[in-house]
Amino acid sequence: MIQKLIDGIRRTGAPVVVGLDPNLSFIPQELVEEARQAVKNRDAVYEDDLEIAAEAVWHFNKDIIDAVADLIPAVKPQIAMYEQFGIPGLKAFWRTVRYAREKGLIVIGDVKRGDIGSTSASYAIAHLGRIEVAGSSSRVFDEDFATVNPYLGSDGVKPFIEVCNQNDRGIFVLVKTSNPSSGEFQDLKTEDGRPLYEVVGEKVEEWGRLSMDGEFSNVGAVVGATYPEQGRALRKIMPHAYILVPGYGAQGGKGSDLVHFFREDGLGAIVNSSRGIIAAYKKDAYSKFGPERFAEAARAAAEDMIEDIQGALRGAGIEIR
């Protein structure tokens, strides 16, 4: 699966993933009212606020996907943003994944699952594999990649790798996350004086050997854009791991911070921006679009992000090839 993501990056020249993390505050009121009417038309007697929210989320996502699908190789829906709307929200997540795949995009399910044994295997099946029911098998959410929390150890990760190998899928393991408090645990020193995130990075490289796909492994890593020096170190520790880089834009990361996440051939990393793109119309730089043209604002923000990252790579003598 990682080769399919690399093919998309080479085709677009954009090592960028758009995070589809819709919050109701991002969704223009007109879209919410249209969703309310659509739900009412389906069931004039029973009008449910969760159904309305999920309908609005789905149409918001669809318009964003339509606006950026030709620019980027992948999208990353964050499942918590859908779970908050209950079962209707999960249906919107399901529809979003399928629509993105129809548009030729790789889908990274940001689900941050992590447990042990059959529980971890069930998470993996739900997001990356197939479930056997009455003699036939079915896909469930059907993402291409999922994010995984490694802090229950190999028992929590290897079931995902097994499902990946059976279904040509991949995972991104949390190593050094972008949030300010990540260091409370991830920076703790081990007995030999190394930070814990480096030990986790070594495990990612080890697990990656179980699922190689060309030069890279289907087992990647999450390393925040807000920690460029740690990214430099982890790039060396995990030579076969693709790095998913959150924290660009709204959290403070910029293109010039990210050069060392990449290899000299421009591969090895893909950078995420979520609200910086999907809620771009709320920013001064894109306010001219207004809420009625939120998708056009998202496209403009995506183009600017791509230019920023490409420019930083060119400035470092790096070209995607």
Q: Where are the domains of the chain?
A: 2-315
Residues 94, 141: contact at Cβ < 8 Å? yes
- The per-residue pLDDT for range 269-279, each reduced to its tens digit, is 999 999 999 99
Q: Is 112 among the catalytic positions?
A: yes
Q: What is the pLDDT of residue 46?
A: 54
Residue 256's pLDDT band, with cuts at 50, 70 and 90, is confident
Does residue 249 register a pLDDT over 80? no
Q: What is the pLDDT of residue 251?
A: 63
Residues 148, 160: contact at Cβ < 8 Å? yes
State the DSSP code for 147.
E
Q: What is the pLDDT of residue 252?
A: 64
Q: What is the pLDDT of residue 10?
A: 97
Tokens of 217: 């492994």
Name the CATH superfamily, with its identifier, for domain 2-315: Aldolase class I (3.20.20.70)
Of 4, 62, 91, 112, the active-site residue reads 112
Compute how many other C-beta atoms are within 10 angstroms of the C-beta atom of residue 194.
15
Residue 40's pLDDT band, with cuts at 50, 70 and 90, is confident
Query: pTM value?
Result: 0.95
- The per-residue pLDDT for range 146-169, each reduced to its tens digit, is 999 999 999 999 999 999 999 999
Calpha distance 298→277 (Å, rounded): 5
Q: What is the pLDDT of residue 82?
A: 98
